[in-house]
Structure 1
Amino acid sequence: MQWEHALTDYTHYLRIERGLSHNSIENYSYDIKKLILYVENHSISANPTTIDTDTVKTFIYSISKTINPRSQARLISGLRNFFDYLIFENYRTTNPLDLIESPKIGRKLPDTLSIKEIDALISAIDLTHPQGERNRAIIETLYSCGLRVSELTNLKLSDLFFEEDFIKVTGKGDKQRFVPISPLTKKYISLYIKAIRPHIPVIEEYRDILFLNRRGKQLTRAMIFTIIKQLVEKAGLKKTVSPHTFRHSFATHLLENGADLRAIQMMLGHESITTTEIYMHVDRSHLSEVLHKFHPRK
């Protein structure tokens, strides 16, 4: 069995059987391609069914010099899943990563922005520029709805249910959920739709996409990162801010103000409550306040 054949079969499995998104499949494939490149560059005569633990160990050791422990752990996990699939399909009987341990890493707490910092970013937007109204609506939507960047770029006009105060979001694995939307965010999105969007030469295939670039195409993930980076510099913030920072801030601020963890899970689109529970570690003072307020033994 050749590497390309095995990788193609695996990506089909991830898409069809596991229902993973395009971005998730790309991430899984990227790690496997690293191993393939290593085998080819070192003229190793091993295919997916014959590669052994020692070869994989040597590969991981070589790449560990250029990546951090968290990335190394993700790499090992991704390769382990790949070889588990080959075992499941009877291409192999053993997993070469069974005896390889992942590096010990601490649980990374999400970075967040304060409300004051979010206001500073929004204030830094130049509303005299044609993209100003759009960018303000983008930041407000990221923060007020807790969206992933891919969920934001894929948001459609037909996903807006403003009369019901909800938007329909398509998340990982094409799973859909309804997320509440605030009056302020509705206001900024509506301003963009009415004042800016009519002047954009929209390309037909993107006609239902909400946020467009000036050429009428769907915004890319990279463009959202660039917009945020420029606003951070303009606002003078000394933090590393990404689209995901707004999602973390959304969840943290909800929890700090007394929101139920289960409700936060549903709005974020987390499949497991354990993923959402990381926010319980962000503000321990809030947990103490909850205990003193609600526990009968005060």
Structure 2
Amino acid sequence: MNELTFLSHLTSEQYLTQLQNRLEQHHLLDEHRNLSLADSSEQDFLELFFLEKIFTPDKRLSPHTIKAYRSDAKTLLIFLTDHSLSFQDIGFPEVKAYNKYIKEKYAAKSAIRKLEFFRRLLDFGYETQFYKTHLSTWISKPTSKKGHYIMEGTRPEEAQTRVQVRELNQKDAEYLISFFPKIVKANQNREQLEKRNLLIAYLLYTTGLRASELLSLNWGSFRYNRQGHLYADVIGKGKKPRTIPIKEETVKLLFDYRRSLRESVDINPEDTSPLFFALYNKKEPCEHKKRLTYPSLYKIVKEAVHLAGKHWKVSPHWFRHTFVTMLLENDVPLAVVKDWAGHSDISTTNLYLERVNQDNMHVHLHKVNLFS
């Protein structure tokens, strides 16, 4: 069925004819000409599931999301293999057993994601008659703490946990940022690498960009507004565009970085070359630009964390949480922060505000005279 994956590259004139032919050849249409996988192979079922529900042509997935989907699929495949099961063997007991296995083996947020992948697969199977019953109704997901938290065990003999917020205070953030250029060990392109790393740190800290948004930046992503302030236009989750203001300190680093590469600092909206690209082992650092990948960005952050000797769990996303919290702590309106951060729903932004308000409860307490 691999040939079905090529249909997305056909012209609109060819698409209907080719799709009709392929589906009829594989007997994947029922008497109502609806997609039916009742008699299909597991290979057909899985390929169509990924083609129609996961890797759709109109959906741009980040490397992180793709990696998560592959991990979820691998987890399910391993479970089935370990129990000598096929996808066609899945029924009520198998759904309950896998549900129990995931909830016991993974933390709440990972379990929720893996069970959501499983639910989507079962629903697709029911919609296409691969499964005769609505099996996903028996999935029960664990509850998860809302907000940006990590869970840590506090006592080995107990299941009790404590909550740690995945963000930094201002002092620690500034301290950690100072180590980004210090991780460079190579002599070749040392100056460019140091300036690149420091700019990465400042953009993470002062813009609230997601890692995927940062890595997608081109030189043409930047523009001046009518007042002469520099902005970056980014495409966020769900292909939603938004505009991010760039702080003056970050603007200076941006231009320093460009000059170190012997690149023009003139803003050019037509320039689609990547802002961040691999610089190692390049005789000419600006030739053959290969966009920086998420594993490379993650490695930069982790090496800086290690060198700083603290906050070893910090990842690129911690800076986003830190930025949003700092905006709210400085009384930036909730609606402005929502748009700035690219949250799809203001309830997400409100989670940050609730915790900021909790942290400030002592301010109100000190206003009350409890003793005469």
SS of match in other structure, 1:98: helix
Write out per-residue CA displacement over residues 49-75 of structure 1, whole angstroms, 9 at most, x where no aligned residue.
x62121122234344454223322221
* Whole-angstrom CA distance in 1 between matches of 2:247 and 2:327: 13
CA RMSD across the alignment: 2.9
Q: Which residue of 1 aligns with 2:249?
A: 184
Q: Which residue of 2 aligns with 1:203?
A: none
Q: Which residue of 1 aligns with 2:170?
A: 115
* Whole-angstrom CA distance in 1 between matches of 2:332 and 2:111: 35
| Equivalent residues, number | 283
Unaligned runs of 5+ in 1: 199-205, 293-298
**Letter matched to residue 259 of structure 1:** V
**Letter matched to residue 211 of structure 1:** F
2:199–2:253: 8 Å Cα contact kept in structure 1?
A: yes
Write out per-residue CA displacement over residues 142-188 of structure 1, whole angstroms, 9 at most, x where no aligned residue.
11111111111111111111455210112223332211111111111
1:168–1:178: 8 Å Cα contact kept in structure 2?
A: yes
* Whole-angstrom CA distance in 1 between matches of 2:272 and 2:221: 13
- Of the three residues 293, 299, 302, the one matched with 1:226 is 299
Q: What stretches of structure 1 move > 6 A for 4+ residues in a row?
A: 289-292
SS of match in other structure, 1:4: helix
Q: Is 1:39 equivalent to 2:77 in the alignment? A: no
- Of the three residues 210, 217, 229, the one matched with 2:290 is 217
Write out per-residue CA displacement over residues 202-249 of structure 1, whole angstroms, 9 at most, x where no aligned residue.
xxxx97000112144211111111111121222232352110000000
Q: Is 1:174 equivalent to 2:239 in the alignment? A: yes
Structure 1 residues 143, 95: CA separation in 2 closer, same or farther (over 3 Å shift)? farther
Moved more, 210-219 or 61-70: 61-70
- Of the three residues 140, 155, 161, the one matched with 2:217 is 155
* Whole-angstrom CA distance in 2 between matches of 1:22 and 1:142: 17
Percent identity of paired positions between Structure 1 and Structure 2: 28
Moved more, 139-148 or 51-60: 51-60
Unaligned runs of 5+ in 2: 1-39, 150-165, 185-189, 264-270, 283-288, 366-372
Write out per-residue CA displacement over residues 244-285 of structure 1, whole angstroms, 9 at most, x where no aligned residue.
000000100000000112211111212122222221233225
**Letter matched to residue 247 of structure 2:** S
Q: Is 1:134 equivalent to 2:207 in the alignment? A: no
**TM-score calculated relative to the size of structure 2:** 0.67
1:261–1:277: 8 Å Cα contact kept in structure 2?
A: yes
* Whole-angstrom CA distance in 2 between matches of 1:29 and 1:95: 24
1:109–1:282: 8 Å Cα contact kept in structure 2?
A: no
SS of match in other structure, 1:166: strand
2:236–2:342: 8 Å Cα contact kept in structure 1?
A: yes
Q: Which residue of 1 aligns with 2:230?
A: 165
**Letter matched to residue 113 of structure 1:** L
2:126–2:133: 8 Å Cα contact kept in structure 1?
A: yes
SS of match in other structure, 1:120: helix
**Letter matched to residue 123 of structure 1:** S
Instruction: Give how far 1:288 is off.
Output: 5.4
2:232–2:244: 8 Å Cα contact kept in structure 1?
A: yes
Work out which structure has the larger RCO, using CA pairs closer than 8 Å and 6 or more positions apart in sequence: 1
* Whole-angstrom CA distance in 1 between matches of 2:60 and 2:132: 25
* Whole-angstrom CA distance in 2 between matches of 1:281 and 1:2: 50
**TM-score calculated relative to the size of structure 1:** 0.82
User: How is 1:50-129 mapped onto 2 (pairs within 5 angstroms)?
Assistant: 51-110=90-149, 111-124=166-179, 125-126=181-182, 129=191
**Letter matched to residue 81 of structure 1:** R
